[in-house]
Structures are given as structure tokens and as C-alpha cells.
Structure 1
Amino acid sequence: MMLPGFPDAAPLAGLAGGVLIGLASALMLLGAGRIAGVSGIAARATKIASGGMSMSSAWLFLIGLPLGAFIVMMLSGGLEAHFARPSPIIIAGVLVGMGTRMGSGCTSGHGVCGMSRLAPRSIVATATFMAAGIATVAAMNALGLEVM
């Protein structure tokens, strides 16, 4: 299916991915009694935070994220990615990590799990994430910089 203005869009793959993320989040909450917030789980695995999930479970969760993506990539015929300059990506990653600590969670914790529970702080956090992303893309476009 091709969407006008979005020749590389894959809406069915996006739908399948969204369903799997929702299912995984629900299973984690119902099965383990934990929110599937990746930044919190990463903080637990690296001993930045304590409580909740065991360290071994946190590491298994974190290892499963890229492993699952790798399995899907291999089953779907591979993936081609191009990153022109790694330094802005590294800087962006560090800033996102700092923001998740300041905001007490990340897009997976607030955007997927918190929003589905109608948590007020997650609604505010997700609105902030979205507004910052929109403002960043608008600023980059205004400066003539390429947005991937």
C-alpha cells in the first residue's frame, strides 16, 4: 500500500509493530506487574536505579530488544541503513538519556504504558515529547537541514 507523499511508508508493518508493542507492554504489566519503560529498565540493569525488576531480568529485557529486532530483520530480508554523520546521533542519544532521567521516564514508559493507563504525568510528558519533536523538525527545516 502506498500513501500519497510517503512513498516509503509501510502502514501494515507499522500496524503490526504497534500491536506487538502493545501486546508486549500488556504482558509485562499483567505478567510481571512492571511498566515496560525502557529507560527505567536500563537504569535498573546498570545500577543507576534500584527496586522493581531484578537486575538479571532487566538485562534479559534489554538484550531481547535488539535481538528481537535482529530476528525480524533477518526474517524480512534484511535492512539497509545509512547514517551520514554519527556525532549528531550520539549527541542526540546522550540528550535523550538525560531527558528520560529528568522526566522520570521515556516514550515507552510514558507514551505507551502511561498513556494507556491515562496517567496525568504521562499525558503531559508525551505531549512534551511530541511538541519538542515537532519544534525540532520545524527548526531544522527552517535552517535548511535535512530531516530523516
Structure 2
Amino acid sequence: MVDIATLFPNGIAHYALGGLFIGVGAAVIYLGTGIIAGASTFLESSLSYVSRLPRFNQGKYLQSRDWRVVFTLGIVGGAALYTVLFGDWWTTDVQWWRLLGGGILVGVGTRLGKGCTSGHGVCGVGSASPTSIVNVATFMAVAIGTAQLVQALGVVP
């Protein structure tokens, strides 16, 4: 049997606190606006400021883009605040180019899955959406399979 301390050597309190903040934030946005708090949609609506593409200039995005851009900036601001408070601006051993490649793949997957883990995983599963449940199961299966493949190939950060 695996010991929890082995899986979480730094404890689980900060993960639980982060999950609580995410859940409360999603609930506040939904209760205040009736809009599901998916980060990919928030990013798309923010792109309406700089793009003339019809995809980014739909009425639903234009009507709510001001507060959505504040949300998007809050994600970046949270990372900046962490850096200021803890002085640790690089928290991983993974090379920047791998993070960039992973970010691009996540962006492609977000478009293919019609949403991201915050929209499907936090809000969609929480509201028992069959589409979101299937998408999250797919996200997890691919992530687990990829992690197992990478480990089997001996790839390290």
C-alpha cells in the first residue's frame, strides 16, 4: 500500500486550499453571471480585443469580455503574486521548451475537446454534464497513458 506521505511529501493542505479557491471562484462566477468559468472561453473572449476574427467576436464574448479579461489577468497576477511572496519564479525542473510544447498541445486539445479542465472538470462534472464527464475521462486516460509512456521511455525533466 502506498503511503500518502510518499505521494504528497509536502502535505496536502495547499492542494486542498487551492481546490477550495478554484471551487469558490467557479461558484461565484456562475452565481453572479450564469456563465461557466472555463479558462479557454475566458481567453477567447479576451482575444476579441485584438482580433477581428468572427470566432472571437461573438456576441456572448463581447458582452462579457471586460470582466472575463480581469479573470484572465487574475490568473497571470496570481502567478506574479506567488513569485513576489515566495521569490520562486521557476517552480519546475522541466525545460522551458517542453513547457511551451505542452502548452501548445493543451491548447489544441482544448479546441478539440470544446473546453478545458476548468470548464469541463470543475464546472461540467460538478453539474453532472455527460459531455464533460466523457471529456474528463478522456483527459485523464490520455494523461495517464502519456505519463506511463514517458516513464517507460526514461524521459526525465
SS in 1 for 2:5: coil
Aligned residues: 145
Q: Which runs of 5+ in 2 are unaligned?
A: 49-54
Q: CA deviation at 1:72?
A: 4.5
Letter matched to residue 99 of structure 1: G
Matches within 5 A, 1:1-148: 3-6=4-7, 8-47=9-48, 48-49=55-56, 50-53=58-61, 54-75=64-85, 77-79=86-88, 80-146=90-156
SS in 1 for 2:70: helix
CA contact (8 A) 1:110 1:123 kept: yes
TM-score normalised according to structure 2 size: 0.82
Identity of aligned residues (%): 36
Q: Flag as ranges the 4+ runs of structure 1 deviating above 4 A.
A: none
Q: Which runs of 5+ in 1 are unaligned?
A: none
Higher relative contact order (CA 8 A, sep 6+): 2
CA contact (8 A) 2:23 2:122 kept: yes
The CA RMSD over aligned residues, in Å, is 2.0
